Amino acid sequence: MRDILATMTIAVATVFLSPAPLVAADDQENSDADRTVTVEATDFDFSPKKIEIDSSTTLKIVLVNKGNVTHSWAIPELDKKSDRIQPGKQTAITLSPGEPGTYKIACQVPGHEQIGMVGELVVTSDD
């Protein structure tokens, strides 16, 4: 019994002392992504603007708002959009494009796309 308790204590301690950052519930939900890309939103641009993936890839986008106004990251053609987030906040979305092609990325806050807050997701065939 003592040994079991000791083992459990070590296991719990390991979880808490793990150097990996604690992830939010959203991240755990989407932990099956093949690739994670952190996109910084500024006023009024994305970095990176262009993302290239293979059509079999499940992509997770972590959007970090480094600007001074609300921003989002969306691919209307794939019906995928992040939450609109305040300056200093971040959010995540996961997508599996499937079909090769070039998809337009845009911030969906009114007016931002029109002043160039756009990007491109290039999905290449994996065969």
Distance (Å, rounded) from C-alpha 92 to C-alpha 29? Answer: 10
Q: 97 with 89: CB under 8 angstroms?
A: no
Distance of closest approach, residue 68 Cβ to Cu ion, in angstroms: 11
- Verify binding: residue 118, Cu ion, rule CB under 5 A: no
Q: Give the one residue of 51, 57, 64, 71 binding Cu ion; rule: CB under 5 A.
A: 71
Positions in 73-112 near Cu ion (CB under 5 A): 107, 109, 112
Distance of closest approach, residue 109 Cβ to Cu ion, in angstroms: 4
What's the one-letter identity of residue 70? T
Distance (Å, rounded) from C-alpha 73 to C-alpha 93? Answer: 9
- Verify binding: residue 64, Cu ion, rule CB under 5 A: no
Q: Is there a cis peptide before residue 21, judged by omega within 30 degrees of 0?
A: no
Q: 37 with 51: CB under 8 angstroms?
A: yes
Q: Which is nearer to Cu ion, 42 or 55 (CB)?
A: 42
Which residues in this chain contact Cu ion in the complex, by CB under 5 A? 71, 107, 109, 112, 117
